[in-house]
Structure 1
């Protein structure tokens, strides 16, 4: 089932654009020093709370999305309320569109995107990221930031590809309900959950060695 979900994520989010050959080392160096990427990561760092997957999994994929579900979806991703989620959307989406265009991110399959973003976050100036990678806590924090960045790119990819209904951004209150109910968003969320699980597993492995 997990392989099926990831296949859907790759197909709906990026697969129909075709796969590209990626020089991760070269592109991640450019990305890490790109002011737009630095702003994008800074916006993610401002999200005050961690993702609540218990709430999230109850909402994603529902056929009928209520107004309460929309608010709970934002809160599940760590925002204080739907207004702060919309502010994140308004400040992040224009930046993200530039990054997607400049680095052809929509041409990448999920694993390529994952490798690129993780590498770029690791290479960012240390004052621009949560903590250094020299300790287990720092690796965990930045792994979570990278995972959220990847999810955001994939989710926006769902909506911009027309998979989400009625809107241009995935956080906006007007389009959120339809987007949350899409298979594409469900698949992207499953990928996000998997990445976050890997972050936690690697953290435990780090502190035990």
Structure 2
């Protein structure tokens, strides 16, 4: 993903910034495994915050919104999954601009969820004739692989629903924070569990305080 971003010219990058903010800068944030493990040890599951001695710190919606640099986010528009949503194939057709045959060919099952491999989305990012669609698919891939990683190398069905709402100004930040807290709690319960969340953003927030 970093290589693709580095190959884009300023026009394409500005189109991305306009619609999705400065997410790509977080691709350059290296996740220090030792620092992350140490940080997780200070997570207080009872109060959902980091406790450093007598100081309590927790990422806020305002801080995460600032770090994402997204001009179209409306803080008061929080994402909530509706009871009835279009099928995964329909959402992918809308996002990618590809045919139903193409979409259904590449949809896979991972456990109890549907997903699409990054390699197929990468091909669209590199060769799609519609520039805006290339940007959309790249943004979808960041959300599926970096922000909400679930199935390694695949974009999960749930991401497509959230992504579909971003164009309406819906803020993804509460969902990102909720997943961050959930994963930190799971790590603490497991003692040495795997953090499944936006590690780059959490570390950027941490560095902004220290």
TM-score normalized with structure 1 length: 0.35
Greater strand content: 2
Question: Comparing both chains, which one has the higher relative contact order based on Cα–Cα distances under 8 Å and sequence gaps of 6 or more?
Answer: 1
Greater helix content: 1
Larger radius of gyration: 2
